[in-house]
Structure 1
């Protein structure tokens, strides 16, 4: 009876399916007689496969040339080339945004249009360019909103005096130096444009601006985010960007006004707009953020209101002749400064704007950049002059103002190099000037190249400063880091936040004895190099909270180091070598985790490896950016680390009472003091088990300690912690994997 009930739904399903197919076929056959000239439809059945395929090709061609088809093809090509060039420039230790700018030039008339004109006209016909420009402008609104949120006013207030003085002088000096240059070239290159004043003002602001987003990522890549120099650099760039955009809004208002009186009205409404934004909108959002202070309660309705107000702010500034981008930027500034709140909004906005819309803007800029206009010696000299004025004005102005504020010569020259970064923000300013027909094509092309050159210069300048500092034997301490070496110097590297607290607890139990002073540095590495400053601060706060809480509980001094790097192992090794640590403590990683999801991931990986082959699996993991998390780092650290290494395989490690130390060879006797310390700190019991035949006469035992004979094949009941050497672990892992699945918390030591 049960079998009949089980098969009945399937029989019912098949029956209904057959009836539906029969009804469809019968209806279509009957309908053929309703078509006038029904015999012609019959002739369609006799069409050859060749003719049918020709019709198919014609249909595909029509869809390729349709508005949406062509736009999707353009976006695909733009994204692929932009990502490729971004990856290439990152390999050259340059910001990815420079590669994306170059991608725009490659796809524009300067390269693709010059050498492959037919392909260029097929992919980017003139009739399709407004669509790209429209999308890129909308993307820029989202991007400028995200940039405004990155520039937190609270960070500027902490170093208000220095930030304002350094940033403003760093703007005014290159701005002033650019005016004679603008005057000298206006007649020859821009006389056909409306007026000299807008031209000179746009040249001046182009010389003066700093690209905060690019600078923030350079600061992160140099691990300066939490140093005084890094914070001063970011607050100075933030103050400079806010000032530059206020100046730009005024310049646009002046450029588009019909008279001096009209300009006065524009500036008056600009002030009124700013008073509304900072006097009403900002306090309202600050109050709202106290309620919407975690990810679970920020509703779609709240996000919808934010987007409506963003577009409204952009619309208002567009109406007031100050460009929609200025409204988006100011609205980002008035967002509440709570990290959780800002991170949620940036997560919703930034990825779409950065990965989808901005490459469209770069290509849109590239389509307007004709490098062929820089063809004679005069134009190349002009490019050199613009670059020289930009670099000397920005670097020199920043250096002078930093020295006036009491900064050291070294920090001042670093600040000058950082402020010379122009990048995307410069390109946005130039795009506005070109769109308003203030900058002629030749000058626009020169300034785009100047932007690329000055941004590319930043990292070589920083490396040159570092090299000179080392060459002259500069003995200044490494930027705002504490190099005191007190007792044992331990580097604790962790991934997941809870792992950091566990490793710190282990470190304290393993090494704290008598009057030994521990100097512990907790290192967390974020592998996404494209994170913004808001994400970086939020990641630091979330990842270090558990370990800092544990450090307070243990009354253990702790230094923190948050770095951004794709090469986790290389970054850790470099830090070990440069700062001369005596011990590295790490977790065993996902591969040996007891977490259910981690084990499921590794099981699925093994199944895929059997089906697809290990090479295909590794390639897939690399494309998904998860290979670095799954690969075994243990062997790397054991072989490469210049110091001793401790690796914890955690099984809810807390305060182990029953501890077993396995000795596989005579050299393992050196582990006894460590096992003894962790046992004493936990008031537990220690069992020492030596491999059969091992000579343990050199072992110095304390009262009550004895060495038993045995092998690492099974564990006594009630064991909380196993301590063994890497050699014994490696041999067991190769030959007795079943035992490893039953292990309690395990500490693997490699002493040097």
Structure 2
């Protein structure tokens, strides 16, 4: 009995969970006052609680706060919050609006994906010998780094634009349309990378990819109309917890399906969110209830598990590692910022608007952390490269708001808020502000 009591992780979790939640909340509020999106504070808290700071400064305190017996459960709860987050991201995206993008949005979207993929591929080829874990083939490693370079955080960008009052301007609407396209593209590419990484042969990878496509078609062609009919019924019925149970169960079962297919559970939750009907008051109310619980209470646990996996000390002993970290940051900024700004300029945007779009497309935030944790979990990257990429994600997110301040400083008073500037097809959908609040990043 004494041994059973000693191994019970519950007391440890009852200490660690509130500490993490409170510190992440304080960190988010602190950076918000400095003009940064809250996700910057949450990412920073995760790193500070990990071996990069607390584990280096006071190892005993970190071991007491995060004992080995509690770590699997913290990761489990954080991943559960992550599944809800992915459902909410999919639900906030207006897939239909991507088809009606203007020529400018389409060009910027393609450039901000293709250029990072290309430069990321070249970077990964150079890094393979130094950073690929033992036994990892060149193809999955290169594909993963290329995808990691192409990430844009749609929810974080939406939050930044809403906070600045730019979400209804031409520039903000254009950036949101591009980020939405990038978000969908990134998750599809990541699903492909997971399929290649986990398959034992090209035939298995192809089978996994076909099953994933079939799953997405089935969800859109069969489940979406069914959910629409159920939502219409719910709109006429009294509101209770049945819709909430349906949404949560649906996202879990969808995540399980894609996990069994071999393209990661996050993809299933994202697709389920994308096919869930929008605009129904009951659906939106229950989705808001999911957000109100999972985002402030469960998602911080994901940040701290990410911070526990990153270790800056792995880089400190080798100056060459820092040179590679600098190379990663340069490629990330040139590829996303340069690609987005260059394409916007070629499509006729002013230099100021083009640079603003590029700065926004360079924001990576929580989306990048999700992708990096998938790569680490698959074993495609090791902790040293994981740490480098986490630092890149933090740096590119931190620089977004100050860069916008500098770029937009010369604008005339009131120019930011003219909704008539947003042309048809590029206006953000209703709920774009809510999309920014999905993770509150």
TM-score normalised according to structure 1 size: 0.54
The aligned runs of 1:223-238 (5 Å cut-off) are 223-238=165-180
Deviations 1:102-130 (A, max 9, x none): 11111111111111111111121223211
Contact 1:430 1:444 in 2 (8 A): yes
Whole-angstrom CA distance in 2 between matches of 1:267 and 1:402: 33
CA distance in structure 2 between the aligned counterparts of 1:115 and 1:380, rounded to whole angstroms: 21
- What is residue 296 of structure 2 aligned with on the other side? 355
Q: Which residue of 1 aligns with 2:439?
A: none
Pairwise mapping of residues 415-454 of structure 1 onto structure 2 (< 5 A)? 415-454=357-396
Residues 628-643 of structure 1 correspond to what in structure 2 (within 5 A)? none
Aligned residue number for residue 319 of structure 1: 260
Residue 482 to residue 422, structure 1, CA distance change in 2 (3 Å): closer
1:6-405 to structure 2, matched below 5 A, reads 66-159=8-101, 161-190=103-132, 192-293=134-235, 297-338=238-279, 340-375=281-316, 376-405=318-347
Higher RCO (CA < 8 A, seq sep 6+): 2
CA contact (8 A) 1:167 1:240 kept: yes
Secondary structure of the residue that 2:166 maps to in structure 1?
Answer: coil
1: CA distance between counterparts of 2:166 and 2:280?
Answer: 19
Q: Are positions 1:478 and 2:415 aligned together?
A: yes
Q: Within 1, Cα distance between the matches of 2:364 and 2:381?
A: 18
- What is the deviation of 1:476? 10
C-alpha RMSD of matched pairs (Å): 2.4
Normalized per residue, the structure richer in helix is: 2
1:399 touches 1:415 (CA, 8 Å); kept in 2?
A: yes
Distance 1:465 1:347, change over 3 A: same
Structure (1 or 2) with the greater strand fraction: 1
Is this contact kept in 1: 2:133–2:379, CA < 8 A?
no
CA contact (8 A) 1:420 1:455 kept: yes
Change (3 A) 1:465 1:64: farther
Q: Give how far 1:297 is off.
A: 3.4
| 8 Å Cα contact 1:212-1:234 kept in structure 2 | yes
Secondary structure at the aligned position of 1:110 is classed as coil
Unaligned runs of 5+ in 1: 1-58, 484-531, 539-752
Structure 2 matches for 1:569-584, cutoff 5 A?
A: none
Structure 2 unaligned spans of 5+: 421-428, 436-441
The size of the alignment, in residue pairs, is 424
The structure that has the greater radius of gyration is 1
- 8 Å CA contact 1:104, 1:367 repeated in 2: yes
The C-alpha deviation readout for 1:533-581, integer Å capped at 9, x for no partner, is 727479xxxxxxxxxxxxxxxxxxxxxxxxxxxxxxxxxxxxxxxxxxx
User: Residue 425 of structure 1: CA displacement?
Assistant: 0.4
**1:222-269 C-alpha deviation (Å, 9 max, x unpaired):** 101222222221121111100110111011001100101111111111
Q: 1:289 to 1:405 in 2, by over 3 A?
A: farther
Question: CA shift at 1:482, angstroms?
Answer: 8.0
Q: For 1:306-705, list aligned pairs within 5 A.
A: 306-338=247-279, 340-375=281-316, 376-467=318-409, 469=410, 478-479=415-416, 481=418, 534=431, 536=433
Q: In structure 1, what is the equivalent of residue 438 of structure 2?
A: none
CA displacement at 1:155 relative to structure 2: 3.5
Give the CA deviation at 1:210: 0.7
Relative distance call for 1:145 and 1:456 in structure 2 (3 A) is same
Answer whether contact 2:90 2:270 (CA < 8 A) is retained. Answer: yes
Compared with structure 1, are the counterparts of its residues 122 and 476 closer, same or farther at alpha carbon in structure 2 (3 Å cutoff)?
A: closer
